[in-house]
Each structure stands twice: as C-alpha cells, then as structure tokens.
Amino acid sequence: MNDLMNWLTVLAYFAVFIMGLASCFKEAKLAWITRNNTGLTIFEKRAYKFKASASLSIAFLAILGLIQAIIGV
C-alpha cells in the first residue's frame, strides 16, 4: 500500500508539473500574439515581448530541471 501511495504522489506532482508547463507555453503564445495589436504603444509591445520571453524561459528551465531530475543530478 505504501508503494502505491508513493507512485500516486509522484504521478500527482508530475501532473501538476505538466499543467504548469502547458500554462507557461499558453501564456507565452498569448503574449506574443497580443503584441501585434494595432492599438498598443511601443512600451506595451515591449512589455508583451518581455512577458512572452519570460514565460518561455521559465518553461525551458523547467524542462531542464526535469531532465536533471531524471538523470539524478
């Protein structure tokens, strides 16, 4: 029973990780599309570019962390 609970816990953490990763990519895509609006100032366009790049970098670092966890670093 204890092994089953350990596996369920790992699967739950992995599910939350995948949902967070999908959310990062979704936010980056939305910010990248929004920056092309015609009514935005140059500062707002820069802010959306920064938000998209920040979301992508967080997602990329999360993937690298997952790879390191698999390797066992």
> Which tens digits make up the pLDDT trace of 7-63?
898 889 889 999 999 999 999 999 999 988 888 899 999 999 999 999 999 999 999
- Alpha helices (runs of H) in the chain, residue ranges in sequence order: 2-34, 42-71
CB atoms within 10 A of CB 18: 12
> Which tokens is 44 given?
């707002």
pTM of the model: 0.79
